[in-house]
Structure 1
Amino acid sequence: MIDWTVRQTICGLDELDALGGAGVTHLLSILDPEQPEPASFNAAPPKRRLTLRFHDVILPLPGMVMPTRDDMSALLEFGRALPERDPAHLLIHCHMGISRSTAAMVAVIAQAHPDAGEDEVVAQIESVRSKAWPNSLMIRHADSMLGRQGRLVAAVSRLYRRQLERHPQFAEPLRQGGRIAEVEMAEAAEG
């Protein structure tokens, strides 16, 4: 595992209230554009907080806001503010704690550990959130912006493959939900 003083938590909206007293110092919220700001953490706000608003999509769909490079730039800037030596607790959440939040954590960890291998970064995310299925568009943006030359995308494809081997029933809902490209990435991933 990656040696980092930053404690990492990934969750969905329904888990936020339970984490209110967990000593979160840095909070990244990724919400649908129409989603109200959660009240969790208002009583004890973290040192730093960033809210991004876009839908969990990878292709243009009517009425949906896609994650952009600007969103990823803001996310990476937020990640650069994490302390290198002092203990911190980074909480990233999205609606379900599966796709946008795990992609965000992949980007933050890959940026904080430029010498770490991509599979090591993805394994770190998987250890934090076993049901991780990072949003591939966000991963593509991060891969490009961090100069990972497709290696981050390939590592996430291998994660998709492992997830579908464990949960083959996920493939059809992903196909129907506009995420067929991610299923195809899993199918094409090498061991």
Structure 2
Amino acid sequence: MSYIVVCPLENIADVAEQHQCKRMISLMSPGHELERPAQISPECHLHVGMNDINFDTAGLISPDEAHVASVIEFAQNWDQKNPLLIHCWFGVSRSPAAALLSSMAVKPEQNDHELANRLREASPSATPNRRIIEIGDKLLDRGGKLSQAVNSIGRGREASQGNPFILPLD
């Protein structure tokens, strides 16, 4: 069974080892350096530099079409032999949004609402970044269905940090 595993930054080494991940997407603030787990080679690591915001703010980098397109393209090139690891600082907003888009990129026949409900079941605290979702909805030609699905699950429960979770592709 193919799946995506999502976690906060502090768990990437343990999660990568436990799930035998070979590919990783990092969604971190611009300029933030991190130590990549040893089993993930540089060419199998996408580092996307953006802040976790939903609107343009002076001094910060908001998610844009190029950021989201790079996530989608990276996911589409994933062979699904090993789980895809996606993380951000806390594992609550940017990485769950990227997990939804990655899942939809590799399995576009999925029902948007069922996918969003699987996310909520896997992570009660996930609150996908709305701007990332809206841009991805457009790039994946979902016609607003993915955005509506994410809106329907609402904000996740309050958490200072998310717990690692698995988002199955099926």
The normalised TM-score by structure 2 is 0.84
Structure 2: give runs of 5+ residues left out of the alignment.
160-170
Q: Is the 1:30–1:94 Cα contact (8 Å) retained in structure 2?
A: yes
When structure 1 is superposed on structure 2, of 149-158 and 12-21 the one drifting more is: 12-21
What is the Cα deviation at residue 113 of structure 1?
Answer: 1.7
Larger helix proportion, structure 1 or 2?
Answer: 1
Q: Is the 8 A contact 1:9 1:92 kept in 2?
A: yes
2:144 is matched with which residue: 150, 171, 185? 150
**2:151 aligned partner, one-letter code:** S
Secondary structure class of the residue paired with 2:154: helix
Deviations 1:117-162 (A, max 9, x none): 111111232343331100000000111111111111111001115x
Where does residue 173 of structure 1 map in the other structure? none
1:37-48 superposed matches below 5 A = 38-41=34-37, 43-46=38-41, 48=44
- Rg: which structure is higher? 1
Structure 1: 4+ residue segments shifted above 4 A: none
1:139 and 1:157 mapped to 2: Cα distance? 10
The correspondence for 1:61, drawn from 43, 57, 63, is: 57
Contact 1:9/1:128 (8 A) holds in 2: no
Separation in 2, partners of 1:114, 1:105: 13
SS, match of residue 33 in structure 1: coil
1:35 corresponds to: 32
Where structure 1 has 5 or more consecutive residues not aligned to the other structure, the ranges are: 171-191
Root-mean-square deviation over aligned CA pairs? 1.8
Does structure 2 conserve the Cα–Cα contact (< 8 Å) formed by 1:69 and 1:141? Answer: yes
Q: Which structure is richer in relative contact order (CA contacts within 8 A, separation 6 or more)? A: 2
Contact 1:20-1:40 within 8 A present in 2 as well: no
CA contact under 8 A between 2:16 and 2:22: conserved in structure 1? no
Equivalent of 1:98 in 67, 78, 92: 92
SS in 1 for 2:127: coil
- Percent identical: 23
